[in-house]
């Protein structure tokens, strides 16, 4: 097998229209050549890379039994090119006189294509499909993906109130 090589680029912009508010967009592409993948299932079956259960063979002469596993070898694919765009919106809010802050972060990714080309010229576009099980464990490669995160945090500012259990010289304020 040959080592993988990759080239990538991205082009993006960030706009901060107000304090604690930002919008960003990022177009990206990743191209890998000689990518190491498992051979396609149909190719492995055609090459006889299977395990069979002879106890399931029928009376038909030459029936070796049902396929119980496909033994796909690792190979170098010709190339894989993934293209997409990311959008991000962030907004922060101060609550309670600057002592508390809540942040929202919403992201959306659109995958234009996930094109794999094999050495024989066969092409597969996995964007928005259930396919490409060797990379996603058959969970799929959605064309659109989004996340939203809300975080709350306490921001300490100024002096800490004096405590009856902590000596004044150990508090954060000099009195």
Kindly list the domain boundaries of the chain, sorted by start residue.
Answer: 5-35+77-170
Sign of CA dihedral 43, 47, 52, 54: positive
Helix, strand, or coil here: 120? coil
Sign of CA pseudo-dihedral 25, 27, 32, 37 = positive
pLDDT in tens, the chain (175 residues): 889 999 999 999 999 999 889 999 999 999 999 988 888 788 888 898 888 888 888 888 888 888 888 888 888 888 989 999 999 999 988 777 667 778 888 899 998 998 888 888 888 887 777 666 655 556 666 777 778 777 665 444 444 444 444 444 444 444 3
Dig out the tokens for 161 from the structure: 């109130």
Measured distance CA(115)–CA(156) in Å, rounded: 50
User: In CATH terms, is domain 5-35+77-170 a member of 3.90.1150?
Assistant: yes
Q: In which residue are the tokens 């150990």 written?
A: 170
């Amino acid at each position: 097998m040959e080592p993988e090589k990759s080239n990538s680029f991205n082009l993006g912009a960030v706009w901060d229209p107000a304090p604690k508010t930002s919008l960003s967009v990022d177009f990206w592409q990743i191209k890998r050549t000689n990518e190491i993948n498992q051979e396609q299932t149909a190719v492995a079956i055609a090459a006889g890379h299977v395990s069979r259960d002879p106890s399931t063979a029928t009376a038909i002469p030459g029936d070796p039994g049902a396929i119980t596993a496909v033994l796909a070898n690792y190979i170098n694919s010709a190339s894989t090119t993934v293209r997409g765009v990311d959008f991000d919106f962030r907004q922060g809010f101060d609550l309670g006189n600057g002592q508390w802050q809540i942040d929202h972060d919403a992201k959306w990714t659109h995958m234009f294509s996930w094109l794999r080309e094999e050495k024989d010229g066969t092409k597969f576009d996995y964007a928005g499909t259930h396919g490409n099980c060797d990379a996603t464990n058959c969970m799929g490669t959605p064309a659109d993906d989004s996340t939203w995160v809300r975080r709350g945090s306490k921001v300490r500012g100024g002096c800490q109130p004096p405590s009856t259990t902590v000596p004044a010289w150990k508090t954060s304020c000099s009195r």
